[in-house]
Amino acid sequence: MQAKLLKKIFPELKTKVKIAPFTAFDIGGTAPFWLEIRDKHKLVEVIKKAQANHLPYFVFAGGSNLVFPDKLPKKIFICYRAKPRAGVTHFIESKLVYAEAGLPLAILVGATIKNGLAGFEALSGIPGTVGGAIFGNAGAYGQTISDKLVEIEIFDGQDIKWVPVATGQFSYRASIFKKKDWLILGGRWSLAKGEAKTLNQKSREIIKMRNKKYAPGIKCPGSYFKNLLASDLPKKVLKQIPAEKIIGGKVPTGYLLEVVGVKGLKRGKIMVPDYHANLILNTGGGKAVDVLALANIMKQKVKDRFNIKIEEEVRVI
Ligand SMILES: Cc1cc2nc3c(=O)[nH]c(=O)nc-3n(C[C@H](O)[C@H](O)[C@H](O)COP(=O)(O)OP(=O)(O)OC[C@H]3O[C@@H](n4cnc5c(N)ncnc54)[C@H](O)[C@@H]3O)c2cc1C
């Protein structure tokens, strides 16, 4: 891929853009080719061109759940973040809400709370975009982005279309989008009527709790590993976990990691803090190679002690 040729296809293309500042982890090398996209129509146009010219690309959004490598492959990195006015449209009467995928999730959550619509308030404080949240079925405190989702607007490489929520195959931090190369362009939710004041109060309480785990400015991609479903665990392992730790059928991986003693582990500028065993922090200038090495040590310790495999919640690219 030559920059000169690529610029003919994409006049707005940039070269050699450092990707780390576009991620919550502040990690990753230099993108050889770079496009910043501000609305879904432009995104589809760019992807069609890339596909027609057989050009490899990678689309991401808020960068809050990603670990990019220190040396990025020769691809076009496409950062899709919509202008906030691209919008949330809410129809209070029918309680239907539409949001474009590239919109910050916080704007969608805030708009629904303000308009007295319940169903998103527990998602307060989750960084990233609406599309990123749909991709990973983001959730917290008993709510997920897919709970009230009715349909999803996608580009499947051929057509732009709306598909019903069932097509999304949502489960705990999983969706069909992790398996298919589809773009998420938007979503439509059907929310319940609530009281703005109460919803706002809940949202504030949640943000307060979250700020204890994720201090503002912290460099991390959220919880590193997925929690485990109690129903998936061998009885031998379950017996070793205090009943009060199992909430909503889930075993916090943080607990297992704490038991195996990962708190305080360090590798270069990367470390596991002493207050939460399922976090991997970049203390500044950290490298992906150290993140992966530390994550492997953590996995191995859990495997050695409990004979179970823990899986990344973050996307390692
Ligand atoms: C401090 C902190 C706290 C967090 N807390 C939570 C939490 O409580 N619960 C939770 O679930 N998550 C949490 N996360 C993780 C993260 O915020 C969510 O996964 C978020 O939804 C990711 O959105 P994003 O826009 O940043 O996606 P990105 O990180 O940019 O991308 C993630 C994946 O989604 C894909 N993607 C993004 N947009 C699209 C699109 N439009 N079409 C197709 N694919 C797309 C990308 O290719 C990538 O594979 C936290 C992260 C941080 C940093």
Determine the pLDDT at residue 56: 97
Quick check: 34 pLDDT over 70? yes
Q: What is the pTM of this model?
A: 0.95
Atom number in ligand 1 closest to CA 101: 41
Contact 159, 128 (CB under 8 A): no
Chain length of the chain: 317
Mean pLDDT within 57-86:
94
pLDDT tens digits for range 275-299: 999 999 999 999 999 999 999 999 9
Determine the pLDDT at residue 47: 98
Q: Coil, helix or strand for 77?
A: strand
- Cα-to-centroid distance, 9 and ligand 1 (Å): 29
Ligand 1: residue whose CA is nearest its atom 3: 222
Q: Would you place residue 92 in the very low, low, confident or very high pLDDT band (cuts 50, 70, 90)? A: low
C-alpha–C-alpha distance, residues 296 and 287, integer Å: 15
Contact 10, 49 (CB under 8 A): yes
Q: Coil, helix or strand for 30?
A: strand
Residue 96, class by beta-carbon neighbours within 10 Å (0-12 exposed, 13-18 middle, 19+ buried)?
A: middle
Quick check: 84 pLDDT over 90? no
Quick check: 1 pLDDT over 80? no
Which residues touch 45 (CB under 8 Å, ≥6 apart)? none
Q: Among 121, 151, 153, 313, which one carries the catalytic annotation? A: 313
Determine the pLDDT at residue 286: 97
Mean pLDDT within 47-74:
97
- Cα-to-centroid distance, 256 and ligand 1 (Å): 24
Q: How many Cα atoms within 13 Å fall on the side-chain side of residue 171? A: 8
pLDDT tens digits for range 230-255: 999 988 888 888 888 898 888 999 99
Which residues touch 52 (CB under 8 Å, ≥6 apart)? none
Average pLDDT, the chain: 94
Determine the pLDDT at residue 89: 73
Quick check: 93 pLDDT over 70? no
Ligand 1: residue whose CA is nearest its atom 9: 139
Catalytic-residue membership of 223? yes
Distance set, CA 247 to CA 230, 250, 283 (Å): 9, 5, 31
Quick check: 44 pLDDT over 90? yes
Sign of the dihedral through C-alpha 222, 223, 229, 230: negative
Quick check: 217 pLDDT over 70? yes
Mean pLDDT within 107-135:
96
Q: Which of 43, 60, 176, 316 to mutate to test the pocket of ligand 1 (most atoms within 8 A of CB)?
A: 60
Determine the pLDDT at residue 3: 87
The strand pair at 96-100 and 183-190 is best described as: antiparallel
What are the structural domains of the chain? 3-80 (3.30.43.10), 84-211 (3.30.465.10), 223-316 (3.90.78.10)
Q: For residue 251, what are its two tokens?
A: 């075993």
State percent of the chain over pLDDT 90: 86
Sign of the dihedral through C-alpha 113, 178, 217, 14: negative
Amino acid at 233: L
Amino acid at 277: A
Atom number in ligand 1 closest to CA 184: 42
Contact 85, 91 (CB under 8 A): no
Q: Would you place residue 86 in the very low, low, confident or very high pLDDT band (cuts 50, 70, 90)? A: low
Q: Which residue has the tokens 């576009």?
A: 22
